[in-house]
Amino acid sequence: MNITFDTLPATLEEMQACPYGSLSEPEYGAALFLAAMLVYPKNKEEAHRMIAWLKGPGGLNEYQKQFLRDRMMDGRDYVVRSYFVGSSSENDYTFDMPATTVDMVRRPETPIEGRMRVFMKSTGADSEREIRMRLKPSEGKWYMEDQMLLAMIRVPVSKDDWA
């Protein structure tokens, strides 16, 4: 499934109001997590609000906030940008706006009722990365349970001492 953003949400309210804010498909929350992480370098508190909403009843705890801080330190927000079509290590993982796209695929190889594994391709990695979504049946919404999207990738050419 392709998720295309005409504009990327910069606040929780914009996220909730955007077409994917219904969270009616697992891919919607997965793509919105990337949008929230793009907000992170500019406004950590707002990104935390966005991610807490995407996590649903579980919210976002201090350990998870620390994990995000560790992954995003030293300007590593390029990892998040690598999931958008058109980005590459050669162009410092930039992508075109408006209308940027994230490609992803569901893989319920190990089906667990009410859970879905969604895989995304990073242009800086050789294998797809996973985000796990969980359905809250009473709401019909898919919330983020766990993610493995922020692992290191190839360094952008502009930051590579060996390029």
Stated pTM of the model: 0.93
Domain that holds residue 105: 2-158
Is residue 9 reached through a cis peptide bond, with omega within 30 degrees of 0 on the bond before it?
Answer: no
Q: pLDDT-derived band of residue 108, with 50, 70 and 90 as boundaries? A: low
Give Cα 14 to chain centroid, integer Å.
16
Give the pLDDT confidence of 38-64 residue by residue, as tens digits: 999 999 999 999 999 999 998 999 999
Q: Which helix (H) or strand (E) holds 4?
A: strand 2-5
CA distance 63 to 61: 6
Poorest-confidence range of 4-8, 16-20, 75-79, 98-102?
A: 98-102
Does 163 fall in a domain?
Answer: no
Does 124 fall in a domain?
Answer: yes
* Tokens at 45, concatenated: 């508190």
Looking at the 3D structure of the chain, how many domains does it have?
Answer: 1
Does 37 fall in a domain?
Answer: yes
> Does residue 109 surpass a pLDDT of 90?
no
Neighbours of 162 (CB within 10 A): 5
- The confidence score (pLDDT) of residue 103 equals 87
Neighbours of 128 (CB within 10 A): 16
Contact 33, 142 (CB under 8 A): no
